[in-house]
Amino acid sequence: MKVAVVGATGLVGTVMLKVLEERNFPLTELIPVASEKSVGKEITFKGKKFPIVSMDTAISMKPDIALFSAGGSTSLEHAPRFKEAGTTVIDNSSAWRMDPTIKLVVPEVNAHELSIDNKIIANPNCSTIQMVVVLKPLHDKYKIKRVVVSTYQSVTGTGVKAVEQLMNERKGIDGPKAYAYEIDLNVLPHIDVFTENGYTKEEIKMIKETNKIMSDDSIKVTATTVRIPVMGGHSESVNIEFENDFDLAEVRSILEKAPGVIVVDDVANLKYPMPKDAHEKDEVFVGRIRRDDSVPKALNLWIVADNLRKGAATNAVQIAEYLIQKELV
């Protein structure tokens, strides 16, 4: 399997390479792609050095799969070119996610929708991925009516510049700014850009992507997405209202058996999911499982995952693994 990684030197692209290596992905040739200024430099993969090539060179090499994490405009321009060359593209940008002809996939939820005709596949937003992995088994059992989510998102979701801003502020030195305000000892209720209805694009992504991935527009979703000075992953407080009532022990049992989920919920011993524990893991961690007594048939959860891994790189690689397993590529 010839695999291109487009954006190989970026934060997510670097993690994609790490995940491909860790999961011993069945690739016969690796094609790292980055901007012109990086062409010619080398990356090391499984102890071997690979030269970074240009987009045109990568397309001419006709990879079987191209994992993209290079921004929406790059994906809009070049993903169709890879598709023309016979490549299946799995894109981590938001460019294709709401295109009705494009599948938006979290393997634990809707990989079954994929077919050999899907040559551009969208990887959902990180904060959406970790939430729907948990929603899916509960929706199947109790039918979700409404979701209210507040997120606590790592600066790594913004990128290298944001991590540098946080670290510089910690050291009390000036440097490049990724945010309008200080992020250290602060929180910013602002991720991506504000739209005319007062919601940010990040919040709208969580709402619309959830309905698309779950294939159920009847699920009402509202979101408040917040940036916090944390590195290891995104955390989410999720309130779910069901059509049907539930038994708390059964909810816990369903989640303990759910694919890709690890339940960490023993508050008597101070056991609950935290970004520091989720960092560099591929699972979604859920805890603080408790009934919301303020309304009937409602549940509160706390969900944590590494946003660069399950929230981006690992989810994309898992889609690629599924395509190979089902001979769709």
Residues that bind ligand 2RA (CB under 6 A): 125-127, 153, 157-158, 191, 202, 307
Tell me whether residue 19 or residue 254 sits nearer to ligand 2RA (CB atom): 19
Are 243 and 219 spatial neighbours (Cβ–Cβ below 8 Å)?
A: no
Rounded least distance, CB 155 to ligand 2RA, Å: 8
Rounded least distance, CB 205 to ligand 2RA, Å: 7
Tell me whether residue 102 or residue 129 sits nearer to ligand 2RA (CB atom): 129
300 is in an annotated binding site: no
Rounded least distance, CB 156 to ligand 2RA, Å: 8
227 is in an annotated binding site: yes
Per the listing, tokens 């961690």 go with: 285
Give the Cα separation of 271 and 287 in Å (integer).
8
Rounded least distance, CB 247 to ligand 2RA, Å: 34
In the complex, which residue's CB is closest to ligand 2RA?
A: 157
9 is in an annotated binding site: yes
234 is catalytic: yes
Spell out the residues 6+ positions from residue 105 whose beta carbon is closer than 8 angstroms to its own: 111, 113, 114, 121, 122, 123, 124, 213, 319
For residue 218, which phi and psi values (nearest 5 degrees)? -75, -15
290 is in an annotated binding site: no
Tell me whether residue 307 or residue 318 sits nearer to ligand 2RA (CB atom): 307
What strands, in cross-sheet order, belong to the sheet with 234-242?
A: 220-224, 144-152, 234-242, 298-305, 284-291, 261-263
126 is catalytic: yes
Neighbours of 243 (CB within 10 A): 12
Binding residues for NADP(+): 9-12, 37-38, 307
Q: Among all residues, which ones are annotated catalytic?
A: 126, 234
